[in-house]
Amino acid sequence: EAQVTQNPRYLITVTGKKLTVTCSQNMNHEYMSWYRQDPGLGLRQIYYSMNVEVTDKGDVPEGYKVSRKEKRNFPLILESPSPNQTSLYFCASSLSGGLPTTDTQYFGPGTRLTVL
């Protein structure tokens, strides 16, 4: 089954403790992206990747890192999490390595992160 998977689905952690949220897709998609969703602010893009070893900042990249060593994986790294990073996080992927203007994005199930 074609899908985007994220792990963990739920995580409660403390300020400053490094964590990684994994994202994997099995559709051979070139484009992958991370979003966070907060009440009243909608979905905002954190980072995206057009292809392996190519990553770019989205709208809210501060406090996050990503890597794209393989096409299927796009982990989100929080080196020193803070309470303002408490949010619902979504990973997404799409086929095109260029502009996904006629290309749909597939979203993972979400990771609910709480930083105390």
Partner 1 sequence: DAKTTQPPSMDCAEGRAANLPCNHSTISGNEYVYWYRQIHSQGPQYIIHGLKNNETNEMASLIITEDRKSSTLILPHATLRDTAVYYCIALSTDKLIFGTGTRLQVFP
> Which residues make up the interface to partner 1 (CB under 8 A)?
4, 31, 33, 40, 42-43, 45, 48, 50, 58, 88, 90, 92, 98-102, 104-110, 112
Which residue, 26 or 80, is less far from partner 1 as judged by CB? 26
CB of 17 to partner 1, least distance (A): 24
* Strand pairing class (87-94; 76-78): unpaired
Cβ atoms of 45 and 37 within 8 Å: the answer is: no
* Strand pairing class (10-13; 111-115): parallel
Which residue, 80 or 102, is less far from partner 1 as judged by CB? 102
CA distance 23 to 7: 7
CB of 92 to partner 1, least distance (A): 7
Which residue, 83 or 109, is less far from partner 1 as judged by CB? 109
Cβ atoms of 7 and 21 within 8 Å: the answer is: yes
SS3 assignment, position 59: coil
User: For the CA atoms of the chain, what is the radius of gyration?
Assistant: 13
Which residue, 14 or 54, is less far from partner 1 as judged by CB? 54
CB of 30 to partner 1, least distance (A): 12
